[in-house]
Amino acid sequence: MFAAGVRQGNPEGLAAELGFTSLISRHFDSVDYQHKGKMWFSGSVSATSPLEEQILSNTPRAAIDDRMRSELRISLGGEMEQFDSPENRVRLGRGTTRHGLPTTEIEVAVHDVNLDARREHVETFVRILEALGCSADSIERGELDPDGAHASCTCRMSADDVDGVVSPDLLVYGTDNLYVCSNAVFASVGAANPTLTVSALAVRLAEHLRG
The pLDDT of residue 26: 54
Number of CB atoms found within 10 A of residue 83's CB:
19
Q: For the chain, how are helix, strand and coil distributed in percent, rounded to 5? A: 30, 20, 50
Domain identity same for 99 and 196 = no
Domain identity same for 44 and 95 = yes
Amino acid of residue 85: S
Residue percentage of the chain with pLDDT more than 70: 87
Return the DSSP state at 32: G
Confidence of residue 16 (pLDDT cuts 50, 70, 90): low
> Is residue 13 over pLDDT 90?
no
> Is residue 72 over pLDDT 80?
yes
Residue 185 domain boundaries: 150-211
Residue spans of beta strands (DSSP E) within the chain: 2-8, 39-41, 71-80, 89-96, 102-107, 140-142
Classify the C-alpha dihedral 180-159-37-22 as positive or negative.
Answer: negative
Domain identity same for 76 and 162 = no
User: How far apart (Å, rounded) are the C-alpha atoms in residues 14 and 10?
Assistant: 7
**pLDDT tens digits, one per residue of 195-208:** 999 999 999 999 99
Confidence of residue 84 (pLDDT cuts 50, 70, 90): confident
Last residue of a domain, one of 142, 158, 175: 142
User: How far apart (Å, rounded) are the C-alpha atoms in residues 114 and 107?
Assistant: 16
Mean pLDDT (whole number) for 48-61: 82
Confidence of residue 138 (pLDDT cuts 50, 70, 90): very high
Domain identity same for 118 and 14 = yes
Confidence of residue 22 (pLDDT cuts 50, 70, 90): very low
The pLDDT of residue 29: 59
Tell me the pLDDT of the chain averaged across its residues: 85
Number of CB atoms found within 10 A of residue 33's CB:
17
Angle at alpha carbon of residue 176, lines to 175 and 178, rounded to 5°: 70
> Is residue 15 over pLDDT 90?
no
Q: Structural domain tally of the chain?
A: 2
Domain identity same for 21 and 119 = yes
Domain identity same for 40 and 128 = yes
User: How far apart (Å, rounded) are the C-alpha atoms in residues 5 and 76?
Assistant: 9
Confidence of residue 19 (pLDDT cuts 50, 70, 90): very low
Mean pLDDT (whole number) for 19-32: 54
Domain identity same for 120 and 137 = yes
Mean pLDDT (whole number) for 144-167: 89
Q: Considering all CA atoms of the chain, what is the largest pairwise distance in Å, rounded to the nearest integer?
A: 71
